[in-house]
Chain A
């Protein structure tokens, strides 16, 4: 018998987001999960406890005998687990350091460090969940705010699957009608005309559009709205940042590099996760070592979805300001006229580099004036996508969005085919392609669906 495929060895990872939370969970999955955890656990014999029980004990370093943490261990045996494999979860109490130590010990005892999303991948591969559900578990794990969590939970319930299922059913009805006209031409079944196909293509297309509108928001929920706060030295970026951070006390996570440099910080603004880019850069310019200026900002600008450009309202525009205004012309941006508590020297109307769709706010970071407006504005930008969605479903993965665009392209081909006078059975090729693509989103495909449909709906003879 050949060895097990690598995908199915025993894996372990910290499955709670790193941070200041009191309890963390180390999850272990695979057929060796139980024996591995047993090696580092002191307490009841885990091999003898009933499945789906939680057990008190301690994690002990088997080398030194040192007590690492006081833990609760959940034992869940296959197949009724998330991955359909044996799953052991160690609930630790001792904060990030102790949790890391527990994970190290489990890996030392024979588990492999799980790759991102690997538990979910197994759940999918073992047939436990469909693709959109798998994706929403990933989202759930990565959720950075409550709102993101809510969307993921909805998806996990299969909302997106249902919605896509409904769209596919609509297409299937049309296809069945087309097919019946082709296979039974001499029967007096209703003819599916190209006009009816056109109408259907348009309605389905509109529904896909609606879903696609949420894709931006979904992306934001999942990855955070990449935001760069820029401005020349001493315009008040730092105090603005502090206001945004201090007020919320809501840093979800630090995705730090190996050095002390903080590259990205997440901040929760009214449920919207902002991913602040190059906050180190913002702070550095505070160090009166003003060697890093516009050049560094440009890097941040290129990777940001939203620019918060801070100007000093109490000083005339300078070369740096103009360069930054020019560099962000193509970006969605909020222009802050800060230091509004001082006597203003420049006025928005005087700045000819502003675009019509710029959002202009007057603030005084020092006096905490206008900060609330910034938050509201960000919330509004984000919610614009979601409020259009009547379905409570938000597209959160690039894969889903890509397939939706592909499905939409097929519908556009349907429409242009009809407009150029193509017969119904050719136009049907694109309609079927749309149906197939939507099926890929949920990872389902029922090749016999169409034929079953044909016979349940129509009365046909030989």
Chain B
């Protein structure tokens, strides 16, 4: 019998899917004062982590800080639910230090669900969205499987791997969302009907085993840090978790690799069953063994999935081999000889909206007032999803308020780098943020995410007055201290005890405090020993900023010069609906790519692969002439 549609409530913003993207999108819209509906297939899977039980790491950890600096939730949520915290890359410079937390998966879900439930303007509802309400190319709401028509000014889709999801384990293949949840099938069909180009991606997850059956004695322990660190700028050091839970490291071996090689004919990755494109950076173990045949072993991380569960995640052992083979593979690994399998690993194929169909504000070019975010746009990772989610939520709210879009440039945030990459270059594999994708990573540090973004978050209405004041106090203190050090002269006599202690040559002349701090062996504390405390209150975070600012001034200046050049190009806008076929001299490939992507600035155009410097020159001249041929709307 056909389900009867009915007009349900009307909202400003409807967000579809309550994963890491959807949760942020809904919270941002609601906090900006929009009446928001968050509808998701299963309320017990809100902010669910279907793969690794961790948040952060290089580049990703910085995104978490950025989300927090804008007023988002991921940082706060992990700070309330972590079971281990580690700072990575401590031996390297400040730009690439990376915070990573092991999460209690279930708790992470419960705390986020509670936050959503407590949010005043937000309604959380279980339901499966099957189609969009679109009138004259403008999205006006959604319809669920139960027939409820929700009207809205704007809609954000974050369907993730549920979009026509298909799980594959060896010869077994079935329609499913992540972790045997209900897939979303009709929405994909509806999107295609509206003219969206979808493609198939693949990702995978490793087996889980029971902790009680692991022999930890033959593995290496990886404990958490003693030094306190949190993701949110608002979480105080005082709540740092004392009883952290360790991770453990072990390795595959020749036997593991032989089992895999002997059974490649049963591996969906190689037998042609999987059509979707998988990520290069998160390959399955069978992929690694084939591609890096000469490597005798691969690392495996054993990670607890939570405090009150025995389930362990076998990190870097992602596989879609038949369960029979998975068992043999797991048992071949040192420490896992008798491990009891709890869940087999699987591969999952899903639909993505090819992201070149988006504008920089995450609105689709195909349907107005419709935004997409998260894994649905071809990314992978909880953090990438959250970063897009908050941006889509903000922009959906701004559109509902008839305000200008909010866009972060590549020099402002990793989030900006990611969205620009997706929209400008598209992606032909699940996209992961890497620090190497950012041209200005010394500027895009995790420690200064608040400096970069909290002003913006405040203007948007996502940062409380109280938090904003603390933020201003911190940066005022940094400025004051920098000023003090740039004026304070250190005499040879003042520096002598330090020089002597470190076996350094005595100073000949006086030197400004900030100049002395530039020397690699001198730290902020040493300077304070010599010149005493200043007036401002200087906490750990202020010290850190002062030291980074002074020590790396030369490099920061170089990056800043590069950014200034970029800004010039970013300020050259390309008129909307420009007809590239009418621009004389453009290469055919450039015409095709430019027409497809419709870049908003000359700088964005220059980043499109297949558009060469000569094309950019021609295009600039053409625009400057001012007689622009346009495509009819």
Which residues of A does B touch, CB under 8 Å? 1-5, 7-8, 124-127, 179, 181-188, 420-426, 429-430, 433, 443, 445, 447-448, 450-451, 454-455, 459-462
Determine if B629 and A1 form an interchain contact, defined as CB atoms under 8 angstroms apart: yes
Beta-carbon nearest neighbor of B587 in chain A? A127
Determine if A422 and B607 form an interchain contact, defined as CB atoms under 8 angstroms apart: no
For residue B258, CB closer than 8 A to chain A, the reply is no
Chain A residues lying within 8 Å of B614, measured Cβ to Cβ, are 124-127
Determine if B58 and A459 form an interchain contact, defined as CB atoms under 8 angstroms apart: no
Which single member of B89, B584, B612 contacts A182 (CB below 8 Å)? B89
> Nearest Cβ in chain A — how far from B548, in angstroms?
11
A interface footprint on B252-293 (CB within 8 Å = 1, 0 otherwise): 000000000000000000000000000011110000100110
Chain A residues lying within 8 Å of B559, measured Cβ to Cβ, are 429
Chain A residues lying within 8 Å of B629, measured Cβ to Cβ, are 1-2
> Nearest Cβ in chain B — how far from A149, in angstroms?
27
Q: How far is the CA of A443 from the CA of B616 in the complex (A)?
A: 13
Which single member of B281, B435, B442, B582 contacts A455 (CB below 8 Å)? B281
> Nearest Cβ in chain B — how far from A193, in angstroms?
10
Chain B residues lying within 8 Å of A8, measured Cβ to Cβ, are 584-585
A interface footprint on B512-542 (CB within 8 Å = 1, 0 otherwise): 0000000111000000000000000000000
Q: Which B residues, 73 to 128, have Cβ-Cβ distances below 8 Å to chain A?
A: 88-89, 91-93, 95-96, 98
Beta-carbon nearest neighbor of B249 in chain A? A186
Determine if A461 and B288 form an interchain contact, defined as CB atoms under 8 angstroms apart: yes
Chain B residues lying within 8 Å of A460, measured Cβ to Cβ, are 281, 283
Q: Is the interface of B mostly helix, strand, loop or mixed?
A: loop
For residue B223, CB closer than 8 A to chain A, the reply is no
Beyond A426-B95, A430-B558, 5 additional pairs, beta carbon < 8 A: A124-B614, A125-B585, A125-B617, A425-B92, A447-B607
For residue B437, CB closer than 8 A to chain A, the reply is yes
Q: How far is the CA of A443 from the CA of B102 in the complex (A)?
A: 46
Contact (A462, B52) CB under 8 Å given A2-B627, A185-B58, A448-B609: yes
**26 pairs across A/B with beta carbons < 8 Å?**
A1-B629, A2-B582, A2-B627, A4-B584, A5-B618, A5-B621, A8-B585, A127-B587, A179-B436, A183-B59, A185-B98, A186-B88, A186-B222, A421-B520, A422-B555, A424-B92, A425-B93, A425-B96, A430-B558, A448-B609, A451-B436, A454-B436, A459-B292, A461-B316, A461-B318, A462-B316
Chain B residues lying within 8 Å of A445, measured Cβ to Cβ, are 613
Contact (A429, B299) CB under 8 Å given A8-B584, A454-B436: no
A interface footprint on B415-449 (CB within 8 Å = 1, 0 otherwise): 00000000001000000001111000110000000
For residue B298, CB closer than 8 A to chain A, the reply is yes
Chain A residues lying within 8 Å of B582, measured Cβ to Cβ, are 1-2
Beta-carbon nearest neighbor of A131 in chain B? B613
Determine if B618 and A125 form an interchain contact, defined as CB atoms under 8 angstroms apart: yes
Chain A residues lying within 8 Å of B621, measured Cβ to Cβ, are 5, 7
For residue B622, CB closer than 8 A to chain A, the reply is yes
Q: How far is the CA of A314 from the CA of B435 in the complex (A)?
A: 76
Q: How far is the CA of A300 from the CA of B612 in the complex (A)?
A: 44
Contact (A450, B436) CB under 8 Å given A1-B629, A2-B625: yes
Most B CB contacts (10 A, CB to CB) among A126, A185, A461 go to A461
Q: How far is the CA of A186 from the CA of B98 in the complex (A)?
A: 11
Contact (A187, B280) CB under 8 Å given A426-B93, A429-B558: no
Beta-carbon nearest neighbor of A121 in chain B? B614
Q: How far is the CA of A302 from the CA of B58 in the complex (A)?
A: 58
For residue B374, CB closer than 8 A to chain A, the reply is no
Which single member of B292, B298, B442, B521 contacts A429 (CB below 8 Å)? B442
Determine if A443 and B613 form an interchain contact, defined as CB atoms under 8 angstroms apart: yes
Beta-carbon nearest neighbor of B433 in chain A? A183
Beta-carbon nearest neighbor of A2 in chain B? B627
Determine if B282 and A461 form an interchain contact, defined as CB atoms under 8 angstroms apart: yes
Q: How far is the CA of A274 from the CA of B235 in the complex (A)?
A: 75
Which residues of B does A touch, CB under 8 Å? 51-52, 58-59, 88-89, 91-93, 95-96, 98, 222, 280-283, 288, 291-292, 295, 298-299, 301, 315-316, 318, 425, 434-437, 441-442, 519-521, 552, 555, 558-559, 582, 584-585, 587, 607, 609, 612-614, 617-618, 621-622, 625, 627-629
Chain B residues lying within 8 Å of A447, measured Cβ to Cβ, are 607, 609
Most B CB contacts (10 A, CB to CB) among A4, A447, A454 go to A447
Chain B residues lying within 8 Å of A188, measured Cβ to Cβ, are 299
Q: How far is the CA of A289 from the CA of B614 in the complex (A)?
A: 56
Determine if A179 and B435 form an interchain contact, defined as CB atoms under 8 angstroms apart: yes
Determine if B625 and A5 form an interchain contact, defined as CB atoms under 8 angstroms apart: yes
> Nearest Cβ in chain A — how far from B581, in angstroms?
10
Q: How far is the CA of A4 from the CA of B585 in the complex (A)?
A: 9
Q: How far is the CA of A433 from the CA of B301 in the complex (A)?
A: 36
Which single member of B95, B295, B299, B587 contacts A425 (CB below 8 Å)? B95
Which single member of A183, A186, A425 contacts B434 (CB below 8 Å)? A183
Of all A-B residue pairs in the complex, the 5 with the closest CB atoms, nearest first, are: A421-B520, A461-B316, A423-B93, A2-B627, A459-B292
Determine if A183 and B436 form an interchain contact, defined as CB atoms under 8 angstroms apart: yes
Chain A residues lying within 8 Å of B628, measured Cβ to Cβ, are 2
Which single member of A3, A7, A423, A454 contacts B92 (CB below 8 Å)? A423
Chain A residues lying within 8 Å of B627, measured Cβ to Cβ, are 2-3
Determine if A455 and B280 form an interchain contact, defined as CB atoms under 8 angstroms apart: yes
Chain B residues lying within 8 Å of A429, measured Cβ to Cβ, are 442, 555, 558-559
Contact (A185, B585) CB under 8 Å given A5-B621, A443-B613: no
> Nearest Cβ in chain B — how far from A129, in angstroms?
11
Chain B residues lying within 8 Å of A125, measured Cβ to Cβ, are 585, 614, 617-618
Determine if B93 and A5 form an interchain contact, defined as CB atoms under 8 angstroms apart: no
Beta-carbon nearest neighbor of B222 in chain A? A186
Which single member of B91, B280, B434, B520 contacts A420 (CB below 8 Å)? B520
Chain A residues lying within 8 Å of B96, measured Cβ to Cβ, are 182, 425
> Nearest Cβ in chain B — how far from A112, in angstroms?
16
Determine if A179 and B585 form an interchain contact, defined as CB atoms under 8 angstroms apart: no
Which single member of A124, A126, A182 contacts B58 (CB below 8 Å)? A182
Which single member of B98, B282, B425, B622 contacts A462 (CB below 8 Å)? B282
Determine if B618 and A462 form an interchain contact, defined as CB atoms under 8 angstroms apart: no
Chain B residues lying within 8 Å of A185, measured Cβ to Cβ, are 58, 88-89, 98
> Nearest Cβ in chain B — how far from A91, in angstroms?
29
> Nearest Cβ in chain B — how far from A445, in angstroms?
8
Beta-carbon nearest neighbor of B436 in chain A? A179
Chain A residues lying within 8 Å of B618, measured Cβ to Cβ, are 5, 125
Beta-carbon nearest neighbor of B609 in chain A? A448
Chain A residues lying within 8 Å of B584, measured Cβ to Cβ, are 4-5, 8
> Nearest Cβ in chain B — how far from A287, in angstroms?
53
Chain B residues lying within 8 Å of A443, measured Cβ to Cβ, are 613
Chain B residues lying within 8 Å of A184, measured Cβ to Cβ, are 58
> Nearest Cβ in chain A — how far from B298, in angstroms?
7
Chain A residues lying within 8 Å of B291, measured Cβ to Cβ, are 459
> Nearest Cβ in chain A — how far from B51, in angstroms?
8
Contact (A422, B93) CB under 8 Å given A127-B587, A459-B298: yes
Q: How far is the CA of A34 from the CA of B162 in the complex (A)?
A: 61
> Nearest Cβ in chain B — how far from A116, in angstroms?
19
Determine if A433 and B298 form an interchain contact, defined as CB atoms under 8 angstroms apart: no
> Nearest Cβ in chain A — how far from B597, in angstroms?
15
Beta-carbon nearest neighbor of B301 in chain A? A186
> Nearest Cβ in chain A — how far from B244, in angstroms?
16
Beta-carbon nearest neighbor of B584 in chain A? A4
> Nearest Cβ in chain A — how far from B618, in angstroms?
7
Q: How far is the CA of A417 from the CA of B625 in the complex (A)?
A: 45
Beta-carbon nearest neighbor of A454 in chain B? B436
Chain B residues lying within 8 Å of A459, measured Cβ to Cβ, are 283, 288, 291-292, 295, 298
Which single member of B280, B434, B613 contacts A179 (CB below 8 Å)? B434
Q: How far is the CA of A462 from the CA of B298 in the complex (A)?
A: 12
Determine if A422 and B299 form an interchain contact, defined as CB atoms under 8 angstroms apart: no
Q: How far is the CA of A424 from the CA of B93 in the complex (A)?
A: 7
> Nearest Cβ in chain A — how far from B566, in angstroms?
13
> Nearest Cβ in chain B — how far from A124, in angstroms?
7
Q: How far is the CA of A180 from the CA of B500 in the complex (A)?
A: 39
Q: How far is the CA of A340 from the CA of B442 in the complex (A)?
A: 69
Chain B residues lying within 8 Å of A179, measured Cβ to Cβ, are 434-436
